[in-house]
Amino acid sequence: MSQYDFTVNGKPVSVEAPPGMALLWVLRDKLGITGPKYGCGINVCKACTCLMDGQAVNPCAIPVASMQGKSITTIEGLAQGDKLHPVQQAWLDKDVAQCGFCQPGQIMAAVALLKRTPSPTDADIDAIENVCRCGTYGRIREAIKSAAAAMR
């Protein structure tokens, strides 16, 4: 086992793990961060989406060995104290969640989209590949547009 030092939700962490261990398991099993969900384990469903150095990534497909010195943000690190991120607030306002399983990944993908595209089109939003088995894509689109307006 090796030691890896990186930042999670603004706090430095040091983790001992096998180099090939998926970051998702490090977050969930070693650090107790359960927002990123395990869905497929092969970078398809995107239920585990987080931000790595500000970019949307899927920790189920990232070995912990590649995290040295990097910064990861999960849904748990998105709010500022008691103030929700505008995307989180829009999710509540638009009543997006049904079962809720995919929502942390959906929200993180939306945050990444709005960082690079402050006024997304329907096509921009549709390009998010996160799977929602409940099919709340219409409400997801509304929430992203609402958050985009609030952030401008």
Local mean pLDDT, 10-residue blocks, the chain (152 residues): 96 97 98 97 96 97 96 97 97 95 97 97 96 95 98 94
Amino acid at the residue 32: G
Contacts of 14 (CB under 8 A, 6+ apart): 3, 4, 5
**Predicted structure pTM score:** 0.95
- Whole-number Cα distances in Å, 137 to 56, 106, 117: 19, 10, 19
Query: Is 21:70 a contact under the CB 8 Å cutoff?
Result: no
Burial class, 134, CB count within 10 angstroms (exposed 0-12 / middle 13-18 / buried 19+): middle
pLDDT, tens digit, for every residue of 75-94? Answer: 999 999 999 999 999 999 99
Query: Is 2:11 a contact under the CB 8 Å cutoff?
Result: no
Q: Which candidate, 28, 19, 63, places its Cα nearest to that of 43?
A: 63
- The pLDDT value recorded for residue 12 is 98
Domains (range + CATH), the chain: 2-77 (3.10.20.30), 86-151 (1.10.150.120)
